[in-house]
Chains A and B, each alone.
Chain A
Amino acid sequence: MRYHTPTSFTDAAAIAARATGTLRFLAGGTDVLVQMRAGMVQPDDLIDLKHIPGVDKIEQTPDGGWKIGIAVPGIVLGGHAALVRDWPGVVEGMNLVGSTQVQGRATLAGNLCNGSPAADSVPGLIAAGAMVTVTGPSGSRDIPVEAVPAGPGKTNLAKGEVISSITLPPRGKNGGDAYLRFIPRTEMDIAVVGCAVSLRLDGDKIVEARVALGAVAPTVLLSEACAKAIIGTTLDDAALAALTKAAEGAAKPISDKRGTKEFRIEVAGVLARRAAKIAYDRAKGLTK
């Protein structure tokens, strides 16, 4: 195995583009190192991205959004008061990943590139409208987070491409987001269903909304139908019923050892309803 420590994403992309065997990028390592130790993957080239300046930084963008380095661990996100104030749903999703020890290393970019449909941080990013900058041999491009996952364990990134930063849009006024997942226990489980809702209010009325569902399809889903069900409403009972129906309709899960198809469909509706209420209350400033 060749271990690389490039100091720029351009160099990292160049090494990746030249690689001919199995390649892995290393940020927090909470997936890659575990897979290596378990013998699931033996990379020929392992590119450690943590030597690149700025990967551990959280910076406010000129328009009021947030640029998050690809090696910022969950525990740092959780401790960043201004970011938590703007995007509590994004941060609470990331903070559900793993144990306290894992939180000290695990990253948003890693959780996204691991490609799990049950990744807890991904629905929140998608609902927030987050973008990632992808650096490749021929330069950089910005794509929405929902364009990254291709299916369990797979991404749409081309050979030589690497995520070089994550950008959350400006939260603006009267916005709120939330993420909920269902697990049978309280900790140490993989989401059976996950749901994130981000919305903006004008008075009591929802004027913008994005709803993402996790663990109910091969990739995390962005559901237009769910968003439509609540936009223009005050999240009254009729809107919640419409949202429930839309979430149940959007969910296309399988039955496996973690839960049945029927259960996942039903719980997708429940979580959408509950997450929407939390996001709504946050947008009203009623809760944090």
Chain B
Amino acid sequence: MRILSYIAKEIKFWEECNKYGVSIWECPRFLFLIMGLVTVVSMVATNLIAIRYADPEIVVISVASVAVLIFSVGNVVVRSFEKVANVSRMKTEFVSIVSHQLRSPLTALKWSLNLLISKDSNLNPNEREYLEIIREGNERMIKLVNDLLSVTRIEQGRLAYNKEDFDIIKLAESLVLEVKSFADANNVDLKLLGDKGPLNIHADKQYITMVVSNLIDNAIRYIPKTGKVEVVLKKNKNFVDAKIKDNGIGIPKDEQKNIFHKFFRSTSVMRHRTEGTGLGLYLAKAFVEAHGGRIGFVSTEGAGTTFWFTLPLSKKINNQRLKSQASE
């Protein structure tokens, strides 16, 4: 049964080609099939000719012409692959250009709002609230553009990490403080537990901030009425172990394998909240792994989810400690 369904899937190559956006005569998989057929037919034909005529010249001519045919089909296959690769490159470039062009007006909005909402501006509460709404909308657009740019860079293998030493406990403290009001508004009890720190890691602060805030944000977001979220950071040998634990809706078992896929959004999540791009966890995984860490989760539908990740502690700080211990 399994073999049959595999064959059926392989034969339905046109679905694959539709996805790439190329016609059937440019579809590598279809052309490959044609080439296989041509090869088989020509082998049989050459064999028959050889048996019937046994004239070496005819055999040589037929073998040569078959070789030419296969060669030209091969050429078409290679060109089709090039076209598919080109389409993918154009898509990436398109995202890059659009994102850069979007960033300028979004920055202008952001900075103008900064000035309007600054502490000493004379706004009545109503005006302040409307401006806050604009500010939040703008921040969401900036985040989306940033996420899309990160995705294209990860795909191109061009993401640069600007690494520095910093205390991840301190980072978590400030992030927890930042989302406290969002947690309160959602009736979620948000707590930071574990080691008191400092736990220094050598990493790109901007990207690690994205990972941690994304996991906390998700945890809060997917608690239906009231609940609690615990952020636990602990030192474990040369790594920091982080856990973000919620008692929210959980992830359905059949969807768990897709959780880190690009643009994937769980159906249970969609019922609950529609906001989101499905990029957060894909990026979190890419960032954590690029820093030499691991990421994963345990989830029971209806009972809650615990996301965990590890990141290597800064070697420099540890070495310095070792050195100062040795000199003592």
* A, B co-complexed: no
| A residues in contact (CB < 8 Å) with B | none
| B residues in contact (CB < 8 Å) with A | none
